[in-house]
Every structure is written in C-alpha cells, then in structure tokens.
Structure 1
Amino acid sequence: MRRVVITGMGGVTALGENWADIRGQMERGETAIRYMKDWERFHGINTRLAAPIPDFTGADHYPRKKTRTMGQVAKMAVYASECALRDAGLIEDTVITNGRTGIAYGSSFGSPGPVIAFAELMTDGASKTLNAASYIQMMSHTAAVNIGLFFGVTGRVIPTSSACTSGSQGIGYAYEAIRWGKADVMIAGGGEELDVTEAAVFDTLYATSTRNDRPHTSPRPYDRDRDGLVIGEGAVTLILEERERALARGAKIHAEIVGFACNSDGNHVTQPQASTMQQALEMALEDAALAPEAVGFVSGHGTATEWGDIAETQATRDALRRAVPIHSLKSYFGHSLGACGAMEAWLGIEMMNADWFVPTANLENIDERCAELDYLMGMPRKIETEYLMSNNFAFGGINTSLIFKRI
C-alpha cells in the first residue's frame, strides 16, 4: 500500500478564499450567517438564515465555451480546483492529462435553477429555458464532470453525491485510489451552491434555526439552546498525491492522510445511530493503525440539530475513550452540505499546522445530553497534535471519518 499526502488546497467559502482571511475573521469571532431578505417571499418556510458567499467572481475569466455546462456549484468547484492545483504546482503538469490523475468530488445536488426548465416542460407541456446544458448543470455529478472537462483529466472519476458526506467521501475515495495504485494524483473535495430549496428540505423536518432576528447567535452546535441548523455554501478541493512522487518533485506537503472509513447505519434515513457512528471512527483508527489516544483534536460534524449532536458526541467519546478537544466549524460557515467535509478538512489541516484551533461559535451552555468532551468555547486555543480526526455524517445514515497526520 502506498502513502498519500496532500500537496494542494484551495477553496471558496463564505468567509473568504484563503486561510489568512478566514483565520482573521474567525479570530475576531465573526461568522458568515446572514438574514436572507430575498427569502421573505417564500411563505412555506420558517427560516430566513443562511451563510451565502457574497460576491463569487472567481470564474469570471473563464471563456464561455468552458462555462456553458457549469452552474454555480460547478464554477466554484472548478475554481477551487484551479487554486488547489496551483498550490500543488501541478496546474501545467502532464500528470493531469496522462490518465494517472483522477477526480473524486461531490455535491448533494447540482444547480437547482435548471430544474425549473424541466418542471415547465412537465406542467406546461413546453419550456422556454430548457437547453442542451440544463441537465449537465443540474446533475449531481456536475462538479466532478466539469472539473474533468476544464482540466482535461482522463483518469477515473468518482462522483460522491451523498449529502453531508459528499466532500469527505470524495477525499476518502481519492485516498484509497492512490493507496491501491489506481492513480498517482487525485483532485478531491466537494461543493454546494446555496438555494432556498435546500433550506426547505430541513425546514420541513423542523431542523432549521429560526433566530431570524438574531443571525449572529445561530447556529449553536452542542448547545442546550440550539434551535436548528443554518444552510451555507462553498467549494473546497484538496490535491492528493502519492508520497514518493511528491517528495521526488520537491512538493510542499500540507499533511498526510493516514486513515479513512465509511459505513452506514442501515436503520433510519434521518435519525443517526451513535453505535454505527462509533464503528466508523474506530474503523478509521484501525485503518491508520492508531490508538485512540493518538488523536489530539476532532473536527466535529456539529450541525446544531438535537439528535445529531447527541449521537455524534456519544460516538466520539466512546470511540476515543476520553474527553478529546472538539469543535464544529459549521457555527461559522453554516452547513454547506456537499462542501462541508472538504471545507472542514482544509481548515482543520491549517489549524493543526498552526497549533491554533477556534472555538465553536455561539456555544455557551453545553447540552447535558451531549457526551463528556473537551468542547472549545469562548477563545481560540493553542493545541499541538500530530493527528487530526475529521468526521461527517449524512442523511441515509452515511458515516465518514478521516484522519490527517501533521508533517
């Protein structure tokens, strides 16, 4: 089995596109949660909160011939991948097009806008907006396909459309592809574009925050006064590379991936099970050949939904057997669905390398039903650790756990 390292990272988030800007805002306690005034016309949902990217212009320089098959999520994913490839020093490397580079990338859905064209066709018998690109923009693997088209990738493509684990599965499956010799380089990650329909999905389950007059106080992961999640958006790409290849070319290495696991609850589509979550974490430890005490920090899923927070923290405590330090970055970026696993991996690696971890925003009173863990609250904390665990859990009972090693 070959070792896998991360040589490039890039992303688009609601708090910026580079680590320095994002860190500065989090250090000041700022979050991306906003009141969405243009959602006032939607009377069927209760939440008016989201974490939008205010002005994404990264794809403006791309030619129309390249962007006609891209909706917003694909544009963000391609741009994040371009940034990551430049960071890795591979933007013009022949490995991208020689069949030894692949893609593992996901989103919950494609771009929702083109759905209207098909709805018009079904309801009115004709559509004014349906065109040859409508399905390509809408399909769940639009990000992966458009990344491949844009950069001329000819290796394997692994679409990971699994809701909140799309990004983490993308990284995990890319890791496995390199580890087992199926690729030398993988473009991995996830993206999601913000749309009111995504908020409506959770609103129908009474799982969204309705602190509409106090957006800066929500979401509140692990807090007894939580009232639900907030939807966000973004795209993040990691470039994974076989370790010996990276060393031979003198690449900068951000971290090594040493463990990955994925399983499913097999029980209920929306009610998470702590027991199978725990198994996923333990499987990741086994994959990394690590004892539980080796993990010095956990980037939690932390959606600020009642049963999700409780089950996750119980699983984390039981798998790691102690009150390990933990936070949830969704308190800053909202729940970016298909993007969150990749976004939390990127920022978790940056924090691990800086010995600096932010607290969970808005966490003031830990829910007594959550397991005993070292919840970061109030101020950033200096923590030195060699291993970071990043966990994500999705509808359908899909559980993922990634373990990163500091270089």
Structure 2
Amino acid sequence: MAITGIGAISVLGSSLETIAEALKNGRSGIDVDEERARLAFASPLTGVIKNFNHQEWLGRKQLKTMPDFAVQAYAAARQALEQSGLTEEDLHNDESGLIFGCDSSCIAAIEQVELLKERGETALIGSGAVFRSMTSCVTMNLNTLFKTRGAAWTISSACSSGGHAVGQAFTLIASGQQERIICGGAQEVNWQSMCSFDGLGAFSSHIENPAQASRPFDKNRDGLVPSGGAAAIILERYELAKKRGAEILGVVSGYGFSSDGDHISVPGRNGLARAGAKALKQAGLTPTDIDYICAHATSTQAGDGAEAANILTLFDKNCPRISSTKSMTGHELWMSGASQVVYTTLMNRYGFTAPNINFTEGDEETARLNILTETDIRPPQKALLNSAGFGGTNSCLVLEF
C-alpha cells in the first residue's frame, strides 16, 4: 500500500521539517516537568510538545469534544492530507476511512469528575465531556470533521496500538474493502495519565541530564521516559495513487502480528520474532533483505533484552542496522507504532538513518546487536518496524522505499 502523506505533532517538533532535523541531529525532546517534581513523582521526566496551539487548528465548538491529543491527531492528519494532494472532498465516500491507535483518555475522565464536584450537578458537566472521555474520541471526532464514510474506529492494544492501526489499514485496503485510510496513533501527555506508571518504578531516574535519560539497549538503561503526541499516515491503494499522480513516499508491504500468551507485563522472547517473520513473508522478503530495524526498545531492562532476543532469533548473524527513535522522543506509548512509520519515512525522504543516541555499551544480550550510535548517511530502503505492548501484543510492519 502506498504512503502518500504523513504528519505528526511530536516532542521533536510540530512540522515534518523540524522533526526530520531533530532525528538527523540526534536532538532529544525530553525534559523535566516541574509539576511532576512538585507532586513527588519518582521521575519527573517527560517528552515535551512545544509551540503547538490548539486554537490555530479548530474552533471553540469543535474543541469542546476533543482533548489535547485528539486535536493533535487532527493536526497530524491535516498535514498528511495536504502532503498527499487529496482534498477533503476526496474522503466523502464509503471507500475512505479512519483507524487510529489509542488506549486511554485519562485526563478527560478526570476533568468531568472535577466539574461535577465543582458544579454539584451532572447536568452542568457539559455536553462535550462524554465524547472527550471515550477511548474512541480520536476517530469519532475526525470522522465528523473529515466526513469519511468508511472505516471509523480506534484500536486499543497498549503500546502496539499505533502499529496495529497501520497494519489493519493495510489489511483493509489489500482486501479491497477500502481505497484509502487515514491511520495513526495518539497519546496524551499529562501527569495524570502517568502517575500509576510512575508508581510502578517504570521510569528513568536520570533527571540530571534529561536528554540522556532514554537509553534504549544501553547497559545502563534504567527505565523509560513517558511521551506522546500524534502521528498520521495516508495509506492508499497503490494503483489509485499512481493513477492520480500522487507522490509515493514509500510502501507498506507487510504486516505481522502475534501475542505472547504469557505474562501481562513482561514481554516474551519469541512473540516479536513470530510477528516479524509474518510481516516479512507477506512482503515477500527474507531477513537478509532488511537494512534497518526501527526498534520498539523503550529503555527498560526487561523489554530491551526481550526485543534483542527476538531480533537475534529472526536475523541470527545477519543483524541489520538498528536504532530506537525513543532514545530521542521517549516512549510515545499508544502513538509509537504509527510515529515509527512517520519517522522512518522522513529518514528515507531526507537521506539519513537516525541514531540510537545515549548508547555507549551493550549488555550480554544487546551487545550482539548492530546499534547505530551516530547518524548514517545511508537512508533505509527496506525497514522492519517493531512495536509491542502490555498483555504481550506485538505488531511488525515492513516499509519499502
């Protein structure tokens, strides 16, 4: 399936050019949140979205039903739509759809409870609250705004949500059920949605130098850094995209999925490998064809170790170049599988492969990987994108350029 448009509101920037520059130069979007520090978070680190104004994108009536990350998803989709050369009128049909990955709308639920306490009557909460607090708030709002008439639903599968959204869009187009889909992922960036994670001790404590806190695959990694935003991709049937003269940025040629069937929070050591093998088979490729892996690696001891084992199972001694963009962005959670598509496409478009910053030395498992520690001037040509989530859900995508 042809990628004809991409967009993102990221901690690396709110325009594709800014994001590409950050990826190329290894610039981190992570900082300390003073409010989290004041609230005695074990780790006040977070990805920070800068210079994004919701009012520039939508009016007051529309914003009433949309939390921050839904507005960011709309902005990312508008960016992608503009790049694709499609008009909004091109979406007003049964063959155009929306699929996003998102697994929570925490802040909206909290806000409506606070409004009830403040106003003392449920009728005074406001009509927009119910739509803001639903996990499907992204696709229900975007469906209304873009007036698509095909698929319109949200996939909820923890940190693989964005990857599965792109994969399901690919599958629906390949099966002939849709001609084009705006797919992606969105994740809220606020302390309220992260306090329970913080209580688990899952976050990095490298607060002295926030830019060095996220250390995927590194021996001294000590936890992830929460992050978020939104990413959007326009996927189209290849023949239709060519016929209308669209610039094709890349192709999604394979999608594989699996589940570990084991522990709720500890990742398995063969699930990603099975999903990757499925994705490669569908793309008609072998492991030796892949020249880049955009890793899921979130900078946790267990997660990165398990992913290393999966990669080595699939690729054995033919390990391609690997980097985790989470070294710069932190873990974008529900958004991350989709943002990997955007970031990898940007790498190819701007002629480089992004580094895995903060990697100095591997451990017993990760030292066997071919980690990119500096920007490579060779862009990815055939890439495997890994994403995984709580409950042992795995998604792998193959991108070709």
Maintained 8 Å contact 2:8/2:79: yes
Once the two structures are superposed, what CA deviation does each residue of 1:291-334 show, in whole Å capped at 9, x if it has no partner?
Answer: 11111100001100011000001101211222221000011111
Aligned residues: 400
Q: In the alignment, what sits opposite 1:24?
A: 21
The equivalent of 1:173 in structure 2 is 168
Aligned with 2:304 (options 299, 309, 315) = 309
Write the distance in 1 (CA, Å) between the matches of 2:93 and 2:21. 40
Q: Is the aligned partner of 1:137 residue 2:132?
A: yes
Contact 2:13-2:50 within 8 A present in 1 as well: no
Q: Which moved more, 1:154-163 or 1:77-86?
A: 154-163
Specify the alignment match of 2:67 in structure 1: 71
1:5-404 aligned within 5 A? 5-43=2-40, 45-57=41-53, 59-94=55-90, 96-110=91-105, 112-118=107-113, 126=121, 130-321=125-316, 322-370=318-366, 372-377=368-373, 379-404=374-399
161-170 vs 303-312, greater mean Cα deviation: 161-170
The 2-side partners of 1:385 and 1:134 are apart by 43
Secondary structure at 1:23's aligned position in 2?
helix
List alignment gaps of at least 5 residues for structure 1: none
CA distance in 1, matches of 2:15, 2:98: 22
Could you tell me whether the CA contact under 8 Å between 1:81 and 1:238 is conserved in 2?
A: yes
Kindly state the Cα deviation for residue 174 of structure 1 after the two structures are TM-superposed. 0.5
In structure 2, the residue corresponding to 1:196 is in which secondary structure? Answer: coil
Contact 2:69 2:186 in 1 (8 A): yes
- CA drift of 1:41 comes to 2.7
Change (3 A) 1:59 1:79: farther
State how far apart, in whole Å, the 2-side matches of 1:202 and 1:186 are.
Answer: 32
Task: Check whether the contact 1:100–1:183 (CA below 8 A) recurs between aligned residues.
Answer: yes
Inter-partner Cα distance in structure 1 for 2:322 and 2:253: 20
Letter in 1 for 2:276: L
Determine helix, strand or coil for the equivalent of 2:368: coil
Does structure 1 retain, via aligned residues, the 8 Å contact 2:305–2:366?
Answer: yes
The 1:162–1:122 alpha-carbon spacing in structure 2 relative to 1, beyond 3 Å, is: farther
Q: Is the 8 A contact 1:392 1:399 kept in 2?
A: yes
Instruction: Name the amino acid aligned to 1:33.
Output: I
Gaps of at least 5 residues in structure 2 are none
Paired residues of 1:158 and 1:170 also in contact (CA < 8 A)? no
Q: For the residues of structure 1 that align with 2:34 and 2:113, how far apart are their CA atoms?
A: 27
Which secondary structure does the structure 2 equivalent of 1:357 belong to? coil
For the 8 Å contact 1:192–1:337, the answer to whether it is kept is: yes
DSSP-derived class of the 1:231 partner:
coil
Contact map agreement 1:168 1:342 (CA 8 A) in 2: yes
Which deviates more, 202-211 or 252-261? 202-211
**TM-score normalised per structure 2:** 0.95
Contact 1:317–1:371 under 8 Å retained in 2: no
Name the CA shift for 1:62/1:385 in 2 (closer, same or farther; >3 Å). closer
1:127 Cα deviation (Å)?
A: 5.5
* CA deviation map 1:188-236 (0-9, x unaligned): 0001120113332322222101122221211111011111000112111
Q: Distance in 2 between matches of 1:26 and 1:252?
A: 23
Quote the Cα distance in structure 2 between the aligned partners of 1:34 and 1:231.
11
For the residue of structure 1 that corresponds to 2:66, the secondary structure is coil
Secondary structure at 1:232 match in 2? coil
> Which range moved further: 283-292 or 248-257?
283-292
- Does structure 1 conserve the Cα–Cα contact (< 8 Å) formed by 2:106 and 2:193? no
Partner Cα separation in structure 1 for residue 25 and residue 181 of structure 2: 35
In the superposition, relative to structure 1, how do residues 28 and 275 fare at CA in structure 2: closer, same or farther (>3 Å)?
closer
Q: CA deviation at 1:124?
A: 10
- Measure the CA separation in 1 of the matches of 2:62 and 2:93: 21
CA distance in 2, matches of 1:347, 1:40: 30
1:122 CA displacement: 8.9
**What is the distance in 2 between the residues matched to 1:325 and 1:185?**
31
State the 1:64 CA deviation: 2.3
Contact 2:353/2:380 (<8 A) preserved:
no
In the aligned structure 2, how far is the partner of 1:387 from the partner of 1:217? 29
Which moves more between the two structures, 19-28 or 210-219?
19-28
Displacement after TM superposition at 1:115 (Å): 2.4
Aligned partners of 1:59 and 1:302: how far apart in 2?
A: 34
CA contact (8 A) 1:117 1:129 kept: no
Q: Would the alpha carbon gap of residues 27 and 290 (structure 1) be closer, same or farther in structure 2, given more than 3 Å must change?
A: closer
Question: Structure 1 residues 57, 123: CA separation in 2 closer, same or farther (over 3 Å shift)?
Answer: closer
